[in-house]
Amino acid sequence: MPRLHLLLTAALAALVSSPSAFAADKIALVVKSLGNGFFDAARQGAQEAAKELGGLEIIYAGPAKATAEGQVEIVNALIAQRVKVIAISANDPDALVPVLKKAMQRGIKVLSFDSMVRKDGRQMHLAPSSGPLIGRKLAALITDASPTGGQVAVLSATAQATNQNAWIAEMKTVLATPAYASVKLVGVVYGDDQTDKSYREAQGLLKSHPQLKVIVAPTTVGIAAAARAIQDERMTGKVFVTGLGLPSEMVGHVKNGAVKSFAIWNPVDLGYSVIYAANALSKGGVKGAAGEVVSLGRVGKVTLDANAEGAMAEPFTFDASNVEKFSKMY
C-alpha cells in the first residue's frame, strides 16, 4: 500500500475509533503537499480554530508531491468517510472539479483556500490576499532587490497553480507600467513546489541569463530553494531572491545576503480562518452567495464577491529589521 494510503487511512481510522469522533463534525484540510512549512503552519491555525469552536475534528491530508491526482485520491477517501466539509488548496483548478462536484452531490460542503478551485467545483474560496495586492507587492519587492532594475525571472510552483498564475499575471501588469520601465522579465519556470526541482530550475535561470538581477518566487518552497542556489553558485550580492516565503525558512538567507526582503501573509491566520469559514458553511450560516459576510473569529470578516471569493489582506514585508523576530513564530 502506498505511503499516502497508509497516512490517510491511519488518520481516518484514528478518528473513527475515537468515541468523541462520533459527536464531532469532521472538517478535512487538504493541502498541496505534505512537508510544506506553509501548510504545516496553516494546520496550527486550523487546530486553534477547532479548539475555539468546539465539536470539530480536523483531518489534515495531502499528497507526497503537489499533484492533482494525489488530491483526487484523497478527496475520494474523504467522501467515503462522509466528512462535513472539505477545504482544499488546489494543485489544479480544473482537474479537481469532478471529484469535488461528487462530494457536493453527497452533501459535503466544499471550499477552496490559498489556491482556488474553479467556481463550479466549490461553494466559496478564501484567499489570503487578492491578486492585485500580491502582484503589486511582488513588483515592489523586485525594486527592493534591485533598485536600478535589470533582468528578472520567476520561479513558480506548478504551471496549473491558480493562485501563482494569477499573481504572476498581476505582477506582469504592474511591471508593464512606466514606473517599472527598467525591469525586464526574461522568463517563468516551474519547480512544482518540490525543493530539488526548484533548486535545479533556479540554477538553470542563472546559467541561461548571465545578466539576471532578481529571481522572484511566489512560493515558499521555491524562494528557499532559489536562495540556496544563489549561495551555492557563489552569486550572493550579484543576484537577489525575493517573493513569498516563511520567516523561519528565510531568516538565514536574509542574514547571508541572498535575500533583501520578502513577504507572506500569516499562514497560521489563514488556517484559522479556513476552519471558521468551513464551520459556517457546515452550519448553514454561509452558503457562498455574493455579498455574504463571513466571520473569521479573531481575524475579522470578509465579504464574498460575485465569484464567492473573499480576500484577507496584503502580504506583510520581512527584511533584516524584523525577520528574526517573526522566524520564532512561523
Residues 6+ apart with CB under 8 A from 87: 27, 28, 29, 30, 110, 111, 112, 113, 274, 275, 277, 278
Task: Give the list of residues 6+ apart from residue 226 with CB closer than 8 angstroms, or none.
Answer: 155, 198, 199, 202, 215, 217, 241, 243
Residue with cell 487578492: 130
Among 251, 252, 217, 256, smallest CA distance to 235 is for 256
pLDDT at residue 23 in the model: 55
Could you report the per-residue pLDDT of 182-235, keeping only the tens digit for each? 999 999 999 999 999 999 999 999 999 999 999 999 999 999 999 999 999 999
CB atoms near residue 307 (< 10 Å): 12
pLDDT, one tens digit per residue, over 30-70 is 999 999 888 999 999 999 999 999 999 999 999 999 999 99
Give the percent of the chain with pLDDT over 70. Answer: 93
Residue 271's alpha-carbon distances to 220, 263, 266, in angstroms, are 16, 18, 9
Q: Closest by alpha carbon to 57, among 270, 279, 267, 286?
A: 279
Per-chain mean pLDDT for the chain: 92
In angstroms, rounded to a whole number, what is the distance separating the alpha carbons of residues 267 and 274?
10
Dist. CA 145–CA 238, nearest whole Å: 10
Beta bridge partners of 35: none
Whole-number Å distance between alpha carbons of 291 and 109: 19
Architecture of the domain defined by 3-127+267-312 = 3-Layer(aba) Sandwich (3.40)
Spell out the domain ranges in the chain.
Answer: 3-127+267-312, 131-264
Q: What is the pLDDT of residue 17?
A: 35
Nearest in space to 165 (alpha carbons), one of 120, 218, 118 = 218
Same fold, 3-127+267-312 and 131-264: yes
Of the pLDDT bands very low, low, confident and very high (cuts 50, 70, 90), residue 162 is: confident
**pLDDT at position 175 over 60:** yes
- % of the chain exceeding 90 in pLDDT: 86
d(CA 277, CA 286): 8
Q: Which CATH superfamily is domain 131-264 in?
A: Response regulator (3.40.50.2300)
- The model's pLDDT over 114-143, given as tens digits with 9 standing for 90+, comes to 999 999 999 999 999 989 999 999 999 999
CA distance readout (Å), 232 to 201, 225, 226, 237, 248: 14, 11, 10, 13, 20
| Most distant pair of Cα atoms in the chain: their distance | 63
Check residue 37 and give its pLDDT. Answer: 87
Residue 67 φ then ψ, to 5°? -125, 150
So what's the pLDDT on residue 317?
A: 96
